Structure 1
């Protein structure tokens, strides 16, 4: 018995093409109907339950809030600008170095500049969804053109103000939708400082 045309065709090219197209379209439609991909946001890896922010990303966020300034003892104005972020993976700490300018009408010259470096542990602010510096301390401050007691006094002023300005300083703020996948909302757990980024646990 001769096969019918339908059976004879079998997997003819036109039929295979049609099936292939239907499979592709079906796959695209299915993907569109699925929940947001597990790696929908940069830095997130929901397979390993981690989020990582690179040093460059964090530094860009920090720079947006500078320069910052504060008056001390109604005599000195302390300005911090041009911040740079350093990460200490061994001690799980982050450090911000910045140009510091201390000014006062009682000084000659009226302003001096230098470099200040403040290091800190990190903490997570649950209410604000924000990764912050925790109890920063001034590790180094160098002022140009000063020596003796004047230098020591202004270094102390600059260090104290830098610590205060950077206390609870925000490094990264999450959006609520970033921490929500499907019906699950993730919380932030352990914070780990890497050589070139900061990683947080998603739990």
Structure 2
């Protein structure tokens, strides 16, 4: 007599509720792991060479504007340096000042400086406490020296004060899956050192 064998495969049914619980558990585990990574990694220091600031400022030049309703000023080039002892950025800028109504123009330099600082709201490096340190305009009539100094101060504030000199890129703000935020800046002789803290 022939025996017939029947097999029946039983497929377990997973409810939608169970699936959601599993997904929620995985999400919680992932969040815990990321938080643990942030605690383990700690702060990190990143060097930003002076060339990055130079490149950013170069994009704003030449800059031309008429001041006091009479004198047209054009800033065409700037050389940057860092003063590590005072934490200031030093800017030596070439300028041309022209008085169109009198058919006169002069060339020279402005020395400007400011304190390097962080703007957390925009994730950027900015220049605070901007001031005009020196005005040297060749062969300018003495009658215009006062205006030249006043204009130099206005130019320094308008072109540089609190305007981002460098905006951090997405890769600067994320490392091994952890989000970082800039919290401290130190000025060296040839670079900036920015401390990034992990966000928990």
What is the TM-score of this pair, normalised by structure 2? 0.71
Q: Hey, what does 2:178 align to over in structure 1?
A: 184
Shift of 1:151: 2.3
Shift of 1:78: 1.5
Give me the whole-angstrom Cα distance separating, in 1, the residues matched to 2:127 and 2:74. 19
* One of 116, 119, 122 as aligned partner of 1:128: 122
> Which stretch has the larger CA shift, 172-181 or 132-141?
172-181
Shift of 1:182: 3.2
How many residue pairs match? The answer is: 157
Could you say if the C-alpha distance between residues 72 and 62 of structure 1 is closer, same or farther in structure 2, counting changes exceeding 3 Å? same
Give yes or no for the alignment of 1:151 onto 2:145.
Answer: yes
| Equivalent residues of 1:116, 1:159 under 8 A apart | no
Give me the whole-angstrom Cα distance separating, in 2, the residues matched to 1:88 and 1:176. 28
* One of 78, 91, 109 as aligned partner of 1:83: 78
Q: Hey, what does 2:54 align to over in structure 1?
A: 59
Runs of 4 or more above 3 Å deviation: none
For residues 115-134 of structure 1, the C-alpha deviation after alignment (integer angstroms, 9 at most, x for no partner) is 00110012222232211111
Shift of 1:197: 0.7
Calculate the aligned-residue CA RMSD, in Å.
2.0
For residues 3-40 of structure 1, the C-alpha deviation after alignment (integer angstroms, 9 at most, x for no partner) is xxxxxxxxxxxxxxxxxxxxxxxxxxxxxxxxxxxxxx
Give yes or no for the alignment of 1:119 onto 2:132.
Answer: no
What are the ranges of 5 or more consecutive residues in structure 1 without an aligned counterpart?
1-45
Give yes or no for the alignment of 1:194 onto 2:188.
Answer: yes
| Equivalent residues of 2:123, 2:181 under 8 A apart | no
Give me the whole-angstrom Cα distance separating, in 1, the residues matched to 2:145 and 2:190. 34
Shift of 1:90: 0.4
Give me the whole-angstrom Cα distance separating, in 2, the residues matched to 1:122 and 1:58. 11
Could you say if the C-alpha distance between residues 107 and 135 of structure 1 is closer, same or farther in structure 2, counting changes exceeding 3 Å? farther
What is the TM-score of this pair, normalised by structure 1? 0.70
User: Residue 60 of structure 1 aligns to a residue in which SS?
Assistant: helix
Shift of 1:63: 1.3
| Equivalent residues of 1:89, 1:194 under 8 A apart | yes
